Amino acid sequence: MTQRARTDVEEPEPGGRPAPDPAHRGLTAAEVAERVARGEVNDVPVRSSRSTTEIIRSNVFTRFNAIIGVLFVIILIVGPIQDGLFGFVIVANTGIGIVQELRAKRTLDHLAVIGEARPTVRRDGVAADIPTSEVVLGEVIELGPGDKIIVDGEVLESDGLEVDESLLTGEADPVLKKPGEPVMSGSFVVAGGGAFTATKVGRQAYAAQLAEEASRFTLVHSELRTGISQILKYVTWMMIPTAIGLILSHLYTLNLTGDEAVRRMVAGIVPMIPEGLVLLTSVAFAIGVVRLGRKQCLVQELPAIEGLARVDVVCLDKTGTLTEGGMDVSSLRLLAPATEETASGGASGTDTAPHEPDESYVRQVLGALGESDPRPNASLQAIINSYPAAQGWRCTESLPFSSARKYSGASFNDPDGESSTWLLGAPDVLLPAADPALREIDGLNAQGLRVLLLARSERELDDAAVARDVTPTALVVLEQRLRPDATDTLRYFADQDVQAKVISGDNAVSVGAVAAKLALPGAQEPVDSRKLPAETDAMASALEEGAVFGRVSPRQKRDMVGALQSRGHHVAMTGDGVNDVLALKDADIGVAMGSGSEATRAVAQIVLLNNSFATLPSVVAEGRRVIGNITRVATLFLTKTVYSVLLAILVACWQIPYPYLPRHLTLLSTLTIGVPAFFLALAPNTERARPHFVRRVMRYSVPSGVIAGGAAFATYLLARAHYRGPDALAAETSTATLTLFLTAMWVLAIIARPYTWWRIGLVLTMGACFLVVLITPWLQHFFDLKLVGTTMPWTAVAVAVVAAVLLEVAWWWVGRRAPA
């Protein structure tokens, strides 16, 4: 776990840290150019979105586009072109879907470049940060805590290098890597540092081979997508028998001509297909990505927007989420030396402590500890800022910080030639439970301060018991910087019935004090996670009762996520450190900070590039907008599907011609569904996300469709009894179309609630467009619509009024019976 300095090879740098091995100077510029020419470059791009070809293919080559295309070709053959207008609507919708998703792709790709980590490589003996795609075979790449290993390689240097390979092997325990041992792409560094040489790059690397089988663009579970697919499957099953029944009825029972029978059959089939619903869902997600992109929020998987909106528990890591990444040293408190009575093993105090350290000496020790770590964390960086390295201190051995053991350490030769070993870490881990210093530490933690213990050990760093029986020397008190927006964000989640759980590796009392300053409910009773039960159900009960948990290990964070999920919770996890990776990966939605480690950004579905916790409410709101609006427009689409199926069944049972031509239903679909749905899908919506999408949509669309279809068919029957003569069918169709349009408009008016000026304007505009068609001669001819007389048109209006009343009653009744 430790690495000794190479005193026989090189002189140490000022401050005591060994210089890089001169034998590992990296490639020369000529060698890099030669490898680039041979194509030995890490040319596998990090895919944050689908390719342009995939976007076009997925929007164009769909099952329903194929069905619509076949029907469109049939209409082109039998004519007239007016009855093929539905084909052009599909082209328009598909085009909108492609444009919006390409727009989202540009946003994703741009943000991915901004958020992409740049590995540090050595070239000509100089360390430099370069893009991942410019790494070549044989490159010497430096590593530090949190760095993701981007290509396969072999370790050259190791300074306590510990690598987590859990994303590849499933094993959570970090692996100590020594020179000569392999490292695989896709793993990441949890402690220590070092360097390795790239042995496989590009598509030959292990992670790239995995990516070929499962790309980054694999969608998280989306209830919307799953529900819509289920609906479309049922519609497909209904279409085939309906089409056969309509064509046979018109040909052999009604003795219509072949062309007329085909047109009526197509008219009955086309409105059954909710063709725009899938495209509008993609458009809504894509526009959500663009909107969030403007706020520096990278959504790596589109349905993650929906997923976060459904979350009911948010697990927050304190450091970097509730507090800013930086810290400041508030004070340095020397501890009284141990007396002979308290010294361990009966040895005298002078044996365990060669001399009583004064503040100046302690400051030098802290400066040397800071200088011994090439990749300091936030706590150690605060110490480095306050206590610069002193001359004459030589680091002979170092132990990097690990979130599992909660301390780091180093051995030194000081200016007087004396050897000493020092540890810096969590006081409650380094001190026995009865130590009197813990009372003072608890008081500091209760103020929201973070406390580190500096202690001297008489054991070697590679001794497993190095932290046992240490001599406490000083307390380093750190003050954390609270995020100014954290209070409002926590209040937002509380208002939205989303539970916030603070899960941190820090001392529970300290974490509770920070959470209390942010007014988090339950912060007054923090829980030390080392006392939590390991059994899943018992842990879940404790998690549901508590709000603040300290001293949580990386594996325990993962267990906590699983325990909450076992109780049916949808869990989001935020984090920025490597200790959060496993929990981020298992959570329903992982949210990483842009300044966090590359490993966390790689596994998270959402990356906050501006490192602002306050962006999360925007993501939740965007998800709720998508869910609420798609539920609205899905009701519109499926209402049309229901009344189309009902009309087809009634026509077949009554053995009468289908009342509509394709052009009529294209006009109705455009004005009552297509255009309004596009605007409604993108409108603001703050409704809370609720489960059971299919059930909720069908609960409203089935009665709406039955009422609309029944009203239209009743008007059609009345018109058949009223009109006579060779042009009777056209008059009957026009009257039935008026009833269906007015009823469908009332469904639109209900769905558009609550009303705003633009929603009212949208409904009135659609009504005005239909009126224009009715009063414009050439449009009457084009759509074959002309109201004859006054009796039946007013009868059609009266039937629509009755249908509107029934719709209001049905929606009221369904709303009362619907679960909250």
Give catalytic residue positions: 317
Q: What region, left, alpha or beta, does residue 140 occupy, with left being phi > 0 and alpha being psi -120 to 50 degrees?
A: beta
Q: Which residues 6+ apart lie within 8 Å of 337 measured at CB?
A: 349, 353, 356, 471
Q: What region, left, alpha or beta, does residue 257 occupy, with left being phi > 0 and alpha being psi -120 to 50 degrees?
A: beta
Identify whether the C-beta of residue 137 lies closer than 8 Å to the C-beta of residue 198: yes
Dig out the tokens for 196 from the structure.
């390795």
Q: What one-character-per-residue DSSP string does 281-297 give?
A: HHHHHHHHHHHHHTTTE
Identify whether the C-beta of residue 448 lies closer than 8 Å to the C-beta of residue 518: no
- The CB density around residue 316, as the number of other CB atoms within 10 Å, is 26
- Cα→Cα distances 525→438, 490, 513, 549, 550, Å: 19, 17, 10, 9, 11
- Burial class from Cβ neighbours inside 10 Å (0-12, 13-18, 19+) for residue 23 reads exposed
- Measured between its terminal Cα atoms, the distance across the chain in Å is 55
Q: What one-character-per-residue DSSP string does 729-780 give?
A: HHHHHHHHHHHHHHHHHHHHHHHTPSP-HHHHHHHHHHHHHHHHHHH-HHHH
Distance of alpha carbon 328 from the chain centroid = 32
- Burial class from Cβ neighbours inside 10 Å (0-12, 13-18, 19+) for residue 618 reads middle
* Residue (of 629, 559, 626) closest to 587 by Cα position: 559
- Cα→Cα distances 556→404, 576, 665, 711, 817, Å: 10, 17, 58, 61, 42
Q: 677 phi and psi, to 5 degrees? A: -60, -35
Alpha-carbon Rg of the chain, whole angstroms?
35
Dig out the tokens for 813 from the structure.
């009744």
- Burial class from Cβ neighbours inside 10 Å (0-12, 13-18, 19+) for residue 357 reads buried
Task: Find residue 188's DSSP bridge partners.
Answer: 148, 164
- The CB density around residue 129, as the number of other CB atoms within 10 Å, is 10
Token pair 């076009």: residue: 56
Give CA–CA dist 451/436, Å, rounded: 15
Token pair 């239209």: residue: 712
Q: Which residues 6+ apart lie within 8 Å of 555 measured at CB?
A: 172, 582
Identify whether the C-beta of residue 655 lies closer than 8 Å to the C-beta of residue 248: no
- The residue type of 467 is A
CA angle 445, 561, 46 (to 5 degrees): 105
Which H helix or E strand runs over 782? helix 777-783
